[in-house]
Amino acid sequence: MPNHIKFSFSSCCRNLFLALAFLFLSISSAFAGLNVATTTEDIASLVKEVGGDHVSVTSIAKGYQDAHYVEAKPSYMLKINRADLLIYIGMELEIGYLPLLIEGGRNPNIRLGQPGLLDLSSSIAPIEVPVGEVDRSMGDVHPYGNPHYPLDPANGPLMAGLIAGRLSLLDPDHAPEYKTNLENFRKRVDAKLKEWSARMERFKGTRIVTYHLLWSYFMKRFGLEYAGVVENKAGIPPSPKHLLELADTMKRQKIKLILTNNYTDPSFSNLLAEKTGATVLVLPGYVDGVPEVRDYIGLFDYLIDKIERALSH
Ligand SMILES: [Zn+2]
């Protein structure tokens, strides 16, 4: 079949599918509260904390997926089409698919400058922001700084604060409840932070290696330091030269731990571990990344537990 016919056939099918699905959803959607779509499960968990029973929330990326790389499926456009609010991480984490999904979602309320679209990155202080001109020619996926800020638990209440403000704007009748829920969440995180910090205190200054720069905010919060990163640059697999140099550094500095995440090919980290005697610890990067991690606070309970155990050996 010639290419242009294939293209028009598939786009015709997609349009028909979208039209039928939109019709079905408009008939079947019975929830009276706010429909919120999020790009990650971490944000979805925060929306549940603040919104309680007055919101229905759905995440585009699953917790076991890399939120840098998500396929722009028509079913995700449907989520955006039926949403009152779409919340995302920003700092170009979702640049590969979110603009396509918003375009395909055809929701006039979910556009830049509209209250139906919320970028959470304005709530936090970014780290690893490059100085000078941004050069993406090397494929760096962190061109405007590190977007993995939900992994500092102190950022959770800041993100939740922005969410509470936007839910209150869209649903003023329940604003007092959103405020109360936010305060309760903030108190729970504050108490947990004291516990987590106390448990991690003895590891302050410990140097580790990670596969991706996923853990930078977490490490900064708890005083862990980088001996190196397996990727050459964020999003770029290591060259043999880089791996050899990193193995040398690790042996010299007696680095015992390589942190990686459960959606990444572990072969490079395993190779380094073989060469250096270090241990590879595979962790979820998001809520729902493993079945035990059901919410935002639970994510840190799980991470602290695993890292504390690994560093104690
Ligand atoms: Zn990243």
Show the CA angle centred on residue 128, arms to residues 127 and 131, nearest 5°: 120
Distance CA 78, CA 248 (A): 50
Query: 35 alpha carbon to ligand 1 midpoint, in Å?
Result: 28
Name the residue type at position 311: L
Asked if the 3-124+141-192 domain carries CATH number 3.40.50.920, the reply is: no
Tally helices (H) and strands (E) across the chain: 10, 8
Q: Is 228 left (phi over 0), alpha (psi -120 to 50) or beta?
A: left
Show the CA angle centred on residue 290, arms to residues 152 and 285, nearest 5°: 30
What is the full per-residue pLDDT of the chain (313 aa) written as tens digits? 444 434 344 555 556 555 655 555 554 456 789 999 999 999 999 999 999 999 999 999 999 999 999 999 999 999 999 999 999 999 999 999 999 999 999 999 999 999 999 999 999 999 999 887 766 665 678 988 999 999 999 999 999 999 999 999 999 999 999 999 999 999 999 999 999 999 999 999 999 999 999 999 999 999 999 999 999 888 888 999 999 999 999 999 999 999 999 999 999 999 999 999 999 999 999 999 999 999 999 999 999 999 999 999 7
Supply 171's token pair. Answer: 């649903």
> What pLDDT is attached to residue 175?
98
Among 184, 146, 188, smallest CA distance to 164 is for 184
Are 132 and 143 contacting, i.e. CB atoms less than 8 angstroms apart?
A: no
DSSP letter for 232, please.
S
Query: 226 alpha carbon to ligand 1 midpoint, in Å?
Result: 16
User: Sign of the CA dihedral 122, 66, 206, 306?
Assistant: positive
Supply 145's token pair. Answer: 């700084």
Query: 296 alpha carbon to ligand 1 midpoint, in Å?
Result: 19
Query: 143 alpha carbon to ligand 1 midpoint, in Å?
Result: 10
Query: 57 alpha carbon to ligand 1 midpoint, in Å?
Result: 24
Are 166 and 181 contacting, i.e. CB atoms less than 8 angstroms apart?
A: no
> What pLDDT is attached to residue 18?
57
Q: For strand 34-38 and strand 85-88, is the pairing parallel, antiparallel, or unpaired?
A: parallel
Query: 142 alpha carbon to ligand 1 midpoint, in Å?
Result: 6
Its CATH class, for the domain covering 203-312, is: alpha beta
Query: 187 alpha carbon to ligand 1 midpoint, in Å?
Result: 29
The SS3 call for residue 219 is: helix
Among 270, 234, 289, smallest CA distance to 42 is for 289
Dihedral angle at the C-alpha atoms of 312, 229, 42, 293, nearest 10 degrees?
-30
Residue in the structure block whose two tokens are 């639970």: 298
> What pLDDT is attached to residue 2?
41
Distance CA 216, CA 128 (A): 9
Ranges in the chain annotated CATH 3.40.50.1980? 3-124+141-192, 203-312
Residues forming a β-bridge with 259: 210, 281
Supply 97's token pair. Answer: 């698919």
Are 148 and 39 contacting, i.e. CB atoms less than 8 angstroms apart?
A: no
> What pLDDT is attached to residue 15?
62
> What pLDDT is attached to residue 5?
39
Among 176, 231, 197, 163, smallest CA distance to 308 is for 197
